[in-house]
Amino acid sequence: MNNLQIKKLSPESPLRVPESLSFPATFTALDSWTRLVKEIYGYETHRFEAAHDNEATGILALTHVRHSIFGNYLATSPFGSFGGFAFSSTEARDGLLNEAQRLSDELKVDYAVIRFIEDNNSPPSSWIQNPIYSTYLLDLPSNPEDLMQTFGHQHRKHTRQSLRKGFKVQFGHLDLLDITYEALARSMHELGSPYHSKKYLQTMASLLGDNLEFAVIKNADDSLVGSAVLAYHGVTATNLHANILSQYRAEYAGECLYWNILEHYVQKGIKICDMGRSLNGSGNETFKFKWKPRKVPLAYWYYLPKGGGIPELNQKSPKFQFAIWVWKRLPAFVTRALGPHLIRGIV
């Protein structure tokens, strides 16, 4: 670690992210995202920078989550798939991981989890890998029709059928806040998952500015069908949320929304669409594979200062399966009131 320096940044200091680390750091490393998490949920983010000869060679942003149900822990990329941890050398990586361990011990957390793009390396001895998630990256051509030709016959057919059904897709910002929230709150309830408050989306849009868009899809008679939240970071766009109400899924409304989003990305000059994380082998993964993305395994490395097993905060857990069953059956006024209090603990 010759000449390697690692420092903890003060809350007022901006985080330097070199262009070479922009993609693995993602938008979740942005100071605006840190402010979002602080303003909405009150969580502090501890940020570290590794530098060699005053050139940044690694960054780490750990959010401290304290929740009555889901525990006391540190995590990178709150409410994102991965990011908040990036490095250009093994020395920078290990130096930052050492800082994560020291902070975990200091704060007496149950665990720390670092989420980043898998680099085929084993974690240091103090860390445990849990490779159950992947993200799905779609390389975008300059002509959307070239992308369409890469799809399988059935997917091409269903996508084109959906485009003839009279669905209308609109892109915007705070002008679409109310309807975007309504579609997401309803669709997440149908899926058995809690969702954030409208204020979360409003604050996100305000802080990220032009780096965030909302998309809304309606049918021919102007009924709400679904919506999406899109985050931009360099030449990459991330589908943060993209949901369709259950009654429209058989009409391939999801295909229509996704295709319109991809066309929109191409028009904006975006080169990569990050379709977001999914559990390996899940139904979400099956849907994403139709679009012919690159499956990229995510490295979820855990440090467990108190010992014990890796926490199972995912749909594979039997406890989560029961919770999903119950949540689907609760009235909307209950889920919208309780949802933000629950999801704040599952970053």
Same domain, 149 and 122: no
> Residue 343 domain-assigned?
no
CATH number of the structural domain spanning residue 43:
3.40.630
Same domain, 37 and 77: yes
In tens, the pLDDT along 63-100 reads 999 999 999 999 999 999 999 999 999 999 999 999 99
Three-state DSSP at 171 gives strand
Same domain, 181 and 262: yes
Q: Which of 11-20, 35-44, 109-118, 201-210 has the lowest mean pLDDT?
A: 11-20
Rounded to an integer, what distance in angstroms lies between the CA atom of residue 91 and that of residue 98? 11
Contact (CB, 8 A) for 112 and 73: yes
What pLDDT is attached to residue 1?
47
Q: Give residue 317's pLDDT band: very low, low, confident or very high (50, 70, 90).
A: confident
Q: How far is CA 347 from CA 58, 108, 139, 142, in A?
A: 22, 19, 27, 35
> Residue 236 domain-assigned?
yes
> Residue 264 domain-assigned?
yes
What pLDDT is attached to residue 259?
98
Q: Per the confidence metrics, is the pTM higher than 0.85?
A: yes
Three-state DSSP at 130 gives coil
Same domain, 260 and 307: no
Same domain, 173 and 257: yes
> Residue 317 domain-assigned?
yes
Same domain, 169 and 84: no
Transcribe 244-279 into DSSP letters: E-GGGGGGTHHHHHHHHHHHHHHHTT--EEEEEEEE
Q: Tokens for 80, please give them.
A: 């994102």
* Whole-number average pLDDT of the chain: 95
Task: Look at residues 345, 347, 342 and name the one whose alpha carbon lies nearest to residue 323.
Answer: 342
Same domain, 113 and 145: no
In tens, the pLDDT along 169-188 reads 999 999 999 999 999 999 99
Summarize the confidence of residues 136-149 as an average pLDDT.
95
Same domain, 16 and 102: yes
At residue 21, what is the residue type? L
Query: What is the residue range of 42's domain?
Result: 4-134+297-327
**Residue 2 confidence (pLDDT) above 70:** no
In tens, the pLDDT along 213-265 reads 999 999 999 999 999 999 999 999 999 999 999 999 999 999 999 999 999 99
The structural domain count of the chain equals 2
> Residue 338 domain-assigned?
no
Q: Give residue 53's pLDDT band: very low, low, confident or very high (50, 70, 90).
A: confident
Same domain, 98 and 12: yes
> Residue 334 domain-assigned?
no
Same domain, 116 and 165: no
Summarize the confidence of residues 123-139 as an average pLDDT.
95
Summarize the confidence of residues 4-13 as an average pLDDT.
93
Same domain, 109 and 22: yes
Same domain, 65 and 182: no
What pLDDT is attached to residue 121?
81
CATH number of the structural domain spanning residue 263:
3.40.630.30
Helix (H) / strand (E) containing 155: helix 153-163
